[in-house]
Amino acid sequence: MTDAQDDCIFCKIASGALGTELVHETATTVAFNDLAPLANKHILIVPKRHIGSLAELSHGDDGLLGDLMETARIVAGKLGIADSGYRVLTNVGPDAGQTVFHLHWHLLGGEPLGQFGRQ
């Protein structure tokens, strides 16, 4: 790992170093419960490879993007929220609220979700 990866909590989780209970795992992603949930169901979906944010992806990452979204679909099914609905989002940079600089999707659901952003 690089120094950035050594300090990255999501790299540690993805590598299994912290023993975090996973909701789902593929060859390129892991999914686990958020420690500070913002909805009844709040899962983080993280690539195993360190990528700072969506802004660092290119066409060469199309397969990874597909796997991240497929993981979201599978996890929503496992959680029983696929039919009622769920939200998938990612924050890019500090102004958007990104606090961990490792690409991750938030999967939110299990209850009616309100609008987001400034009114």
Inside any domain, residue 11: yes
The residue from 50, 102, 104, 106 that is catalytic is 104
Please tell me the total count of domains within the chain.
1
* Active-site residue, 104 included: yes
pLDDT tens figures, 38-97: 999 999 999 999 999 999 999 999 999 999 999 999 999 999 999 999 999 999 999 999
Inside any domain, residue 104: no
**pTM score:** 0.91
Inside any domain, residue 113: no
Inside any domain, residue 22: yes
Query: What phi, psi does 69 have (nearest 5°)?
Result: -70, -35
In this structure, what CATH number is given to the domain that contains residue 23? 3.30.428.10
**78 lies in which domain range?**
3-99
For residue 88, give the nearest of 46, 28, 51 by alpha carbon. Answer: 46
Inside any domain, residue 110: no
- Confidence grade of residue 118 (pLDDT, cut at 50, 70, 90): very low
pLDDT tens figures, 80-105: 999 999 999 999 999 999 999 999 99
The answer to whether the CB of 66 falls within 8 A of the CB of 45 is: no
Inside any domain, residue 117: no
Query: What phi, psi does 4 have (nearest 5°)?
Result: -60, -40
Inside any domain, residue 116: no
